[in-house]
Amino acid sequence: MTEVRHQPTAPTRTRRLASRAAIEAHRHDDHQIVYAGRGVVAVTTGAGSWVAPATRAIWVPAGTVHAHEAHGELQLHLVGLPAAENPLALHTPTVLAVGPLLRELIIAYTRAPDDGSAERARLRAVLLDQLRASPQQPLHLPTPSSPPLRALCEILRADPADGRTLAELGREVGASDRTLSRLFRGDLGMTFPQWRTQLRLHHALVLLAEQTPVTTVAHRCGWSSASAFIDVFRRTFGHTPGYRPKDTGGPAD
């Protein structure tokens, strides 16, 4: 992300993006809520990536350089919040759970004109209340800084189904499993199995958004069976891989 556009105000709007379309690296002086009403949105910063289906939203703090990528036909809802306000008291990108009420509030708020009315102010107040009550989700895939860890992670990004042990991968990147294990904890704040599961779930969300069958997704992401994949997916996201919220339709640009 070398070229960075500066947009002083984070817009509140709805956009449609074709699968694999991107919004290049930029930053706002405002905070932003990024929500995919349909499809899956990926937000990438220098610190890593966050991928969110329609049951999750991503909080992007003011000043954060970030890019977006669409997976599947994306209905993107963006909510801008002034930097002077930080209703969630969050200073790093964070994934938040989105229940049915919050989903409808985000969709309504991003589609209604900003007319300064009392009705819109009330809608915004309820939306913020729901955001404050939303559980945070540990769905961040951090980017490593140490060279051997970066090399290892690139191997697995290229093939999430690679089932080699940490010791076997370590021989390829020239580091012991003990060293790599220490780097995972110190550099990324998680264990190797935790990082690999996060990677596989991120990849699975992308494939599912592109209408890939569940059994194929399980195989491509390294699970031993579709049932094993479904179990991990349900425990992480609270629903099965086949779940899709109702498309609300409506205008978007």
Query: Over the stretch 172-183, which tens digit does the pLDDT of each residue have?
Result: 999 999 999 999
The whole-model pTM stands at: 0.84
pLDDT of residue 246: 60
Sign of the dihedral through C-alpha 239, 241, 243, 249: positive
Contact 44, 142 (CB under 8 A): no
Give residue 138's pLDDT: 72
* Averaged pLDDT, 136-157: 90
- Model pLDDT, residue 176: 96
Q: Residue 139 above 90 pLDDT?
A: no
- The pLDDT value given to residue 10: 80
Three-state SS sequence of the chain: CCCCEEECCCCCEEEEECCCCEEEEEEECCEEEEEEEEEEEEEEECCEEEEECCCEEEEECCCCCEEEEEEEEEEEEEEEECCCCCCCCCCCCEEEECCHHHHHHHHHHHHCCCCCCHHHHHHHHHHHHHHHCCCEECCEEECCCCHHHHHHHHHHHHCCCCCCCHHHHHHHHCCCHHHHHHHHHHHHCCCHHHHHHHHHHHHHHHHHHCCCCHHHHHHHCCCCCHHHHHHHHHHHHCCCCCCCCCCCCCCCC
Q: Does the structure show a pLDDT above 90 at 203?
A: yes
Q: Which of 22-31, 87-96, 223-232, 237-246 has the lowest mean pLDDT?
A: 237-246
pLDDT at 1: 44
- Give 143's pLDDT tier (boundaries 50, 70, 90): confident
Confidence check: pLDDT of 250 > 70: no
Q: What pLDDT score does 245 carry?
A: 63
Check residue 244 and give its pLDDT.
65
Residue 54: predicted pLDDT: 87
Domains of the chain: 5-137 (2.60.120.810), 144-237 (1.10.10.60)
Residue percentage of the chain with pLDDT more than 90: 67
Can you tell me the mean pLDDT for 113-134? 90
| Residue 251 pLDDT level (bands cut at 50, 70, 90) | very low
Q: Is the pLDDT of residue 239 over 90?
A: no
**Which of 6-10, 31-35, 72-76 bottoms out in mean pLDDT, i.e. has the lowest?**
6-10
Residue 253 has pLDDT above 60, yes or no: no
What does the pLDDT read at residue 88?
Answer: 83
